[in-house]
Structure 1
Amino acid sequence: MKEPEKKLVFNTLLKQYAHFGLPTEGIDDKTDFTIHNLRDIHLELPFKSPVFRPNFFSFLFVKDGRGKYTTDNLTFDSSPGTIYFTNPGHYKSHEWFEIGEVYLITLSESFLKENVHPDIFEEFPFLLAETVHPRVLSPDAFFKFEQLYLQINKEYLSKSPYRNRLIGNLFVVLLLKIKEYFWKDYNPIYEGNRSSQIVKTFKRTLEQHYRDLSNGKIHQVFRVQDYADEQNLHPNYLSNVIKSKTGKPIGTWIAEKTIAEAKSLLQNSSTSIKEIAFILGFSESSHFSNYFKKYTDTSPVLYRKQHSTITS
């Protein structure tokens, strides 16, 4: 019997490129943000990737290039003037035939919340869209985006101690431009069919729930049953919809959100690790430490030591 094809899952662009055998010299492994011209990566064309699932956000700006990309079961062309983005959880593949200037930005949810906007999905709900169709802009319209991503690239390459904050502020402008040009009338709830609405509601509930936990508004961590109850669904049905529509089990969504919130609290607050464990629903700080290390390969203590923005 033929074994099923193994799907590749990557938490960082660095790991993705390393697996594909692509150059990684220009990628900073100390931050959850990258930007570069794909011309510097894809030295041999044509290039076709295997199917993979990234757990980070991607924004692509095609000034001069030609290729194709697939998100889940939808395939789109990449041509001059194309702008598109994808969010975590989708199965993707791409191929390139020509590359002149094609800039790719990738960033994690943690980076978005820490450096762009603390309520990122409330301010920019289109980021939760399941599949966003690309847009092809006129040269004049595209030029406005080019100015922004080139300035972001300049800051990314700088040695400024305020680099992430500068990138975050520029990225706010970039998202506002995307909102202006693409999603002026976007409705984050309406998505055409029942399953899409279920996924949208789950993602928004998940985001709001962890925001309330971090703010101390509530103290009870939701389980799958609670997310199902929010939509009057059987938990098995909700789990099946989330898995089939996003390619990721609901438990993985919850785990990744827990880790994202834990990282944010460890990095940006003086809250004790014991209290963080309690906030995120762990009865013992040792359980939280083991959980955190399982998903990050480091302990909460070491992560805070390496990433804390709080000065003594």
Structure 2
Amino acid sequence: MKEVEQKLIYNTLREQYISLDLPTDSIDAQSEFTIHNLKDIHNQLPYKSPVYRTNFFSFVFVKEGAGQYTTDEQVFVTVPGTIYFTNPGHFKSFEWRILEEVYLITLSEAFLKENVHADIFEEFPFLLAETVAPRVLPLDQFAEFETLYQLILKEYTGGSPYRNKMIGNLFVVLLLKIKDYFWNDYNPIYEGNRSSYIVKTFKQTLEKHFRDLSKGLVDKPLRVQDYADAQNLHPNYLSNVIKTKTGKSISTWITEKTITEAKSLLQNSSVSVKEIAFLLGFSESTHFSNYFKKYTQVSPVAYRKQHTST
């Protein structure tokens, strides 16, 4: 096992596995969605990962396995029947002692919005939760999830041109099952300490504002001061909490959200690049094009062509 002392951050699962000297044969280099059995990855047990952060969502389904995972210094045991998920920004690590059938699904925010639900965090607010304990289901309930993730696996390994849309529709059902079984009594007030609540409220405000921007309901991005005012906090205090808890500054969160929304509009609408620029708060379309290319290495026009020809 490769010893890694520093705390790492990964944008994709493939990037993470390469860094940790784990096999990547089953990981699609171009996909923002992955699913596989962890038994195929970890040939030597027990396995203990370094502490790391990710910029993607992870869902774990433990049919037959045992270990534990740690997120933001909270330790949770995983046993058969366990289901849990983590979202971007947290320090985490995991250990496995037994691995027979444990499926991991990872997906980006962009994939969620483009293929699962356009207003994903409004429909499924638990995805923004700071730290959520795993749930252990009885066999009959776990079997319902197993049917779904096996269908998702079948589509993932198939060659259909509609693969992502079919995965997205199946994943909607999976999220609805989670919402039904786990989160009917979800209440952010009971979620954790003060800083966790601040982070979650910031994420919700960010998400709502960009949704309003893309619909033309507001015409300019919020500043750090605006996010602080929304929670009656000093901007320096809010900035420190967000940076400490998520590993990313508020400006980075805003940049990533801007790019995600731009990609979604370019791929899923016929709105012109100029109109998209104005919707996202840019005064000039040239400024938007330069901004988009800086963070994606392609122009908005080229991105639209790449993603509407498939």
TM-score (norm 1): 0.93
Q: 1:29, 1:265 → 2: CA distance?
A: 24
Bigger mean CA deviation after superposition, 270-279 or 12-21: 270-279
How much has 1:259 moved relative to structure 2?
1.1
Q: Deviations over 1:243-282 (max 9, x none)?
A: 2222322122111111110110111122222332222223
Q: 2:97, 2:288 → 1: CA distance?
A: 47
How much has 1:150 moved relative to structure 2?
0.6
Q: 2:243, 2:74 → 1: CA distance?
A: 17
Q: 1:285, 1:49 → 2: CA distance?
A: 44
Q: Deviations over 1:9-68 (max 9, x none)?
A: 111111111111212122223321110111111122222222111100000001111222
Alignment of 1:92-171 (within 5 A): 92-171=92-171
The residue number in structure 1 matching 2:201 is: 201
Matched-pair contact (CA < 8 Å) for 1:58–1:105: yes
Q: 1:22, 1:298 → 2: CA distance?
A: 30
How much has 1:297 moved relative to structure 2?
3.2
Matched-pair contact (CA < 8 Å) for 1:189–1:200: no
Alignment of 1:1-312 (within 5 A): 6-188=6-188, 190-308=190-308
Q: 1:95, 1:259 → 2: CA distance?
A: 34
Q: 2:26, 2:194 → 1: CA distance?
A: 43
Matched-pair contact (CA < 8 Å) for 1:266–1:303: yes
Q: 1:23, 1:288 → 2: CA distance?
A: 38
Q: 1:6, 1:244 → 2: CA distance?
A: 16
Q: 2:249, 2:157 → 1: CA distance?
A: 37
How much has 1:294 moved relative to structure 2?
3.2
CA RMSD of aligned residues (A): 1.7
Q: Deviations over 1:166-220 (max 9, x none)?
A: 1111111111111111111102455343322222221111001000111111111
Distance 1:115 1:107, change over 3 A: same
Matched-pair contact (CA < 8 Å) for 1:190–1:197: no
Matched-pair contact (CA < 8 Å) for 2:215–2:279: no
Q: 1:190, 1:288 → 2: CA distance?
A: 40
Distance 1:274 1:6, change over 3 A: farther
TM-score (norm 2): 0.93
Q: 2:288, 2:19 → 1: CA distance?
A: 30
Matched-pair contact (CA < 8 Å) for 2:213–2:281: no
Q: Deviations over 1:277-298 (max 9, x none)?
A: 2222233334333332333333
Identity among equivalent positions (%) equals: 73
Matched-pair contact (CA < 8 Å) for 1:67–1:95: yes
Matched-pair contact (CA < 8 Å) for 1:8–1:51: yes
Q: 2:54, 2:40 → 1: CA distance?
A: 21
